Amino acid sequence: MRIAKSKEDLRASLKDLRAPSDKVVLVPTMGALHEGHASLLRHARDLAGDGGLVVATVFLNPTQFNNAQDLDAYPTSPEADVLTCESCGVDLLFMPNPDVMYVSDHSMLVEETSLSTTLCGETRPGHFAGVCLVVLKLMNLVQPTDAVFGQKDYQQLAILRRMQRDLDIPVLIHAAATVRAADGLALSSRNARLSPAQRAEAPMIRQALLAAKSDYETGLQAPTVLASCRAQIEMLTGVSIDYIKLLDASTLKLVTPQSCTLVLAVAVFFGDVRLIDNIELQNQG
Ligand code: PAF
């Protein structure tokens, strides 16, 4: 596996490694890699096949953090990340510093204006503009044929698909299923910051989402389902809800009678650790 730290190294490595007819599959990450990222990387390896290239990036992107403390507290593990990438069959790992990615007077915004007005976009202003900016830059640098993102970040995936569509970016976006611990907690780099007591309670988020799905799909009305899910999460100790919303999955707007697939999305704080999760519900009507 090659490692590039500058744009010049990245371009030179891509020139050496890429074969014109083969796939180049990009997996952007912010590092602190866990089994969830490993599954994205393995998915990318499968997509790329024997002749294709898997390019992973590890970059803790400052422009997507609206809160400096959250950025400072974000875990990092660069040495372990290199080993994870190697063991998952990555061919080229790009690990730039912030000053490599952003010149000091950078002033471009990449703003999505519909899907990002709710959920994390509402409670973390500017977050998705930062995500879109860095992903677009990484796509421009790597020029992948394909890119893989996780479904845990449901809204992010929807926005990146919209960016690809609306800006005509020649890349196929693939979604990889959320990887969970045996007790159902969605894997996240932030889980490492939970106390043992918080870690023991955190799987209840998944339990509440599963109960909501079953309630909705056996005929309970959406507002009742949402209220009951909220009540279950509110019962957890030391938890505050950032949001819990039931939306049309394709528009991320209010559910209408025409909505076929719904998404129930939650963000909760365990102390200062913010966790997100989601589940899709099918309209039985
Ligand atoms: O999902 C993430 O880890 C980040 O938002 C991403 C897509 C790597 C952009 O920094």
Q: What is the pLDDT of residue 19?
A: 87
Residues of the chain with pLDDT under 70: none
Query: Which protein residue's CA is at the shortest distance from atom 1 of ligand 1?
Result: 29
What are 32's two structure tokens?
């602190």
Residues 6+ positions from 245 with CB-CB distance below 8 Å:
118, 119, 226, 264, 265, 266
Query: Which protein residue's CA is at the shortest distance from atom 8 of ligand 1?
Result: 29
Q: What whole-number distance in Å separates Cα of residue 148 and Cα of residue 179?
A: 14
Q: What is the pLDDT of residue 21?
A: 78
Q: What is the pLDDT of residue 20?
A: 79
Pocket (CB within 6 angstroms of ligand 1): 28-30, 61, 64, 131, 134-135, 153, 156
What is the residue extent of each domain of the chain? 2-176, 189-282
Catalytically active residues are: 37
Separation of 50 CA from ligand 1 center, angstroms?
26
User: Edge to edge, what strands does the sheet with 239-248 contain?
Assistant: 239-248, 261-270, 273-282
Q: What is the pLDDT of residue 23?
A: 96
User: Edge to edge, what strands does the sheet with 24-29 contain?
Assistant: 2-4, 92-94, 53-58, 24-29, 146-150, 172-176
> Which is the closest atom of ligand 1 to the Cα of 160?
7
Best probe residue, ligand 1, of 34, 39, 61 (max atoms within 8 Å of C-beta): 61
Query: Which protein residue's CA is at the shortest distance from atom 9 of ligand 1?
Result: 131
| 2-176 is a CATH 3.90.550.10 domain | no
- pTM to 2 decimal places: 0.96
Which CATH code for domain 189-282?
3.30.1300.10
Separation of 170 CA from ligand 1 center, angstroms?
19
Separation of 18 CA from ligand 1 center, angstroms?
24
What count of other Cβ atoms lies within 10 Å of the Cβ of residue 90?
26
